[in-house]
Homo-oligomer: A and B are copies of this chain.
Amino acid sequence: MLSPILDFFSSDPKDKKLKNAIEHIIGENPSNLTLYRLAFMHASVSKETVSKSYRESNERLEFLGDSVLGMITAEYLFKKFPFKDEGFLTEIRSRMVSRESLNVVARKMGIDKLVEYDGNRKTVLTRTSMYGDAFEALIGAIYLDKGFRFTRSFIIKKILTQHFDIETVVSNNPNFKSLIIEWAQREGKAIRFDIVEEGSKHNKEFTATIFVAEEAFSVGQGYSKKKAEQTAAMKACEKLEIS
Q: Which residues of A contact B (CB under 8 A)?
A: 42-44, 49-51, 53-54, 59-60, 62-64, 66-68, 70-71, 73-75, 78, 83-86, 89-90, 121, 124-125, 128-130, 133, 140, 143, 148-149, 152, 194-196, 198-203, 207, 209, 216-219, 235
Q: Which residues of B contact A216 (CB under 8 A)?
A: 194-196, 209
Q: A68-B74, A125-B201 are in contact. List 17 more A-B contacts (CB 8 A).
A: A51-B83, A54-B83, A59-B85, A63-B78, A64-B78, A67-B67, A67-B73, A68-B71, A75-B143, A121-B201, A129-B200, A129-B203, A148-B148, A148-B152, A196-B218, A196-B219, A209-B216
Nearest first, the 5 closest Cβ-Cβ pairs linking A and B are: A128-B200, A51-B83, A67-B74, A63-B86, A43-B202
Known: A148-B148, A200-B125. A83 touches B50 (CB 8 A): yes
- In the complex, the answer to whether B201 meets A217 with C-beta atoms within 8 Å is no
For A129, the chain B residues whose CB sits under 8 A away are 199-200, 203
Q: Which residue of B lies closest to A64 (CB)?
A: B78
